[in-house]
Amino acid sequence: MKVNYYRVFGLIMIIIGVVLFFPTPLEYIVRPFTQPILMGSSKGKDILFFVLFGLTLILSTICDNDKIYLKIKTLNIRDEFKNHNFYLKLSIVLFLILTIIGLILELYLRYSVGTGFNTIFVAANPSLTTTSFLHSHLYKSIFGTILGIFLTNIPAGIHTGSSLAVYTPQIANYLFILIPILYIIMIISLQKRELFSRVILAFAISVGIIGIMDGGFFATPTIAGLYGLLIILLDEYVLDNLTKLDEDDDSKQSKNDKTKEELRKFLDYIILSIHNLKYIFNFKSEEAKDFWQFWGPHIILLILIILRFSIAIYGADDVCYELDIYNATEDIDLSPYHTLNITETQDKTIVLISNEYNEMELLNNLGKSLSGKCDSYSLTWNFYSYLGKSAPDSSID
């Protein structure tokens, strides 16, 4: 009986995810690897990544069964519905719809509570949960609420974000249904792929789904997931050629010669694509088609990264932090902070704080000061604080 290595590796990944659910030194081993991928990895995201990646690899083998594949090929449906790339395109469209609507919901939430788009909103009851335009947790709050129904004892280190659910627009509950539907469509698109294409696409699906729920459109796993989907859609032929070389039964010397030949062709293709730059906006030409097919995913990745940083810089409050505290239930001691002004309204306290603090450190410290003492609060973000300096002009008019 032939061993299916996708299933074996997938099962190992799931076992790692299950082990991580319990207190174990393993989480400190995997954390350095998952943290850059998942944008600030946590115990919950680590578990979800390993389980989801493993499950995706196992499900990718459904059509490796010849009987199942033959039944699907003989279905009385249009040929395009039997093409895995049709479902990959559909996945990308649905992926973008969910993430872009997520941004709109973030703006609506801020409009409803009366704060700006360039703020980190924090739900304070019963536990602290943050969300922002650049790192959204709205879908996560719905997932956390569902998770809480089935798991009564959630281990420490797994933050469900359910506190945010009361502030999440109602339509997000219906949109959340599309996430498992998206995953099913992605699994269909994964069938009958070659080695490298299958593993990369399975990885992209896993981090992409996590990114939708925990981070939103501009989160690292979301961008990585979209990038992976586009790579497979447009540049899969390159990966497939590498797979064929790896599976070739020829001698080592023959494999080396073929590898060199494929690399030469690949480099020639890159040079030709660069040469075709002058045709890129003549979309009817074959040269433009070739250029966008190869460079498209990389250009989109670059645009998303630039856009994320541009919004972070544009929205940075470079004068001071504005802290808005909603429905304070008791007196709050702000003496540890360098406050510049405090204004009281009927249901909100507006505090201006010096920009001498690092944004993340200030946010964490405010969490300790405000936990259990208000319904929610928001803090303007300051991109410059991560550069180790304040903005050029820190004066207040």
In a shared domain, residues 354 and 382: yes
How are the residues of the chain apportioned to helix, strand and coil, as percentages rounded to the nearest 5?
A: 60, 10, 30
Is 26 within 8 Å of 16 (Cβ atoms)?
Answer: yes
Does 309 fall in a domain? yes
Is the pLDDT at 392 greater than 50? The verdict is no
The token duo for 31 is 């954390």
Domain-terminating residue out of 267, 284, 314:
314
% of the chain exceeding 70 in pLDDT: 83
Does 365 fall in a domain? yes
In a shared domain, residues 362 and 378: yes
Q: d(Cα 234, Cα 284) in Å, to the nearest integer?
A: 17
Does 53 fall in a domain? no
Q: How does strand 119-123 pair with strand 320-328?
A: unpaired
The token duo for 43 is 């115990």
Does 345 fall in a domain? yes
Residue 169, Cβ density class (10 Å: 0-12 exposed, 13-18 middle, ≥19 buried): middle
With bands split at pLDDT 50, 70 and 90, how would you rate the model's confidence at 214?
Answer: very high
Does 111 fall in a domain? no
Domain-terminating residue out of 289, 314, 339:
314
With bands split at pLDDT 50, 70 and 90, how would you rate the model's confidence at 77?
Answer: confident
Does 226 fall in a domain? no
In a shared domain, residues 327 and 289: no
Domain-terminating residue out of 285, 314, 343:
314
With bands split at pLDDT 50, 70 and 90, how would you rate the model's confidence at 74?
Answer: confident
SS3 336: coil
In a shared domain, residues 342 and 294: no
Q: d(Cα 54, Cα 15) in Å, to the nearest integer?
A: 9
**Where is mean pLDDT largest: 150-164, 336-350, 382-396?**
336-350
In a shared domain, residues 265 and 284: yes
pLDDT digits (tens, 9 = 90+) for 30-54: 888 888 888 766 788 899 999 999 9
With bands split at pLDDT 50, 70 and 90, how would you rate the model's confidence at 126?
Answer: confident
In the DSSP assignment, the letter for residue 136 is: B
Query: What residues are paired with 348 via a beta bridge?
Result: 326
Tally Cβ neighbours within 10 Å of residue 204: 25
pLDDT digits (tens, 9 = 90+) for 167-180: 999 999 999 999 99
Domain boundaries, position 278:
248-314
Please indicate whether residue 83 or residue 10 has the higher confidence score (pLDDT): 10
Out of 14-18, 55-59, 334-338, 387-391, least confident range: 387-391
pLDDT digits (tens, 9 = 90+) for 257-297: 655 665 666 566 666 666 666 666 666 666 667 777 778 89
pLDDT of residue 273: 60
Mean pLDDT score of the chain, rounded to an integer?
85
Does 227 fall in a domain? no
In a shared domain, residues 337 and 295: no
Q: How many domains does the chain have?
A: 2
Mean pLDDT of 186-202: 92
In a shared domain, residues 329 and 381: yes
Compute, in degrees rounded to 10, the torsion defined by CA atoms 230, 235, 237, 238. Answer: -130
Q: Which residues contact 218 (CB under 8 A, 6 or more apart)?
A: 133, 134, 135, 304, 307, 308, 311
Specify the long-range contacts of residues 98-101, CB closer than 8 Å, at least 24 apart.
98/139, 98/175, 98/178, 98/179, 98/182, 98/212, 99/211, 99/212, 99/216, 99/217, 99/222, 100/217, 101/175
Print burial letters for 142-153: b (CB count within 10 Å at least 16), e (below 16): bbbbebeeeeee
Is 73 within 8 Å of 65 (Cβ atoms)?
Answer: no
pLDDT of residue 262: 58
In a shared domain, residues 330 and 382: yes
CA distances from 38 to 180, 253, 279 (A): 20, 40, 37
Mean pLDDT of 77-83: 84
In a shared domain, residues 293 and 277: yes
How many CA atoms does the CB half-sphere of 39 hold within 13 Å? 22
Is 356 within 8 Å of 340 (Cβ atoms)?
Answer: no
Is the pLDDT at 185 greater than 90? The verdict is yes
Is 351 within 8 Å of 322 (Cβ atoms)?
Answer: yes
With bands split at pLDDT 50, 70 and 90, how would you rate the model's confidence at 18?
Answer: very high
With bands split at pLDDT 50, 70 and 90, how would you rate the model's confidence at 393?
Answer: very low
In a shared domain, residues 335 and 279: no
pLDDT of residue 254: 58
334 alpha carbon, distance to own chain's centre: 35
Q: What is the CATH number of the domain that holds 337?
A: 3.30.70
Does 140 fall in a domain? no
pLDDT of residue 274: 64
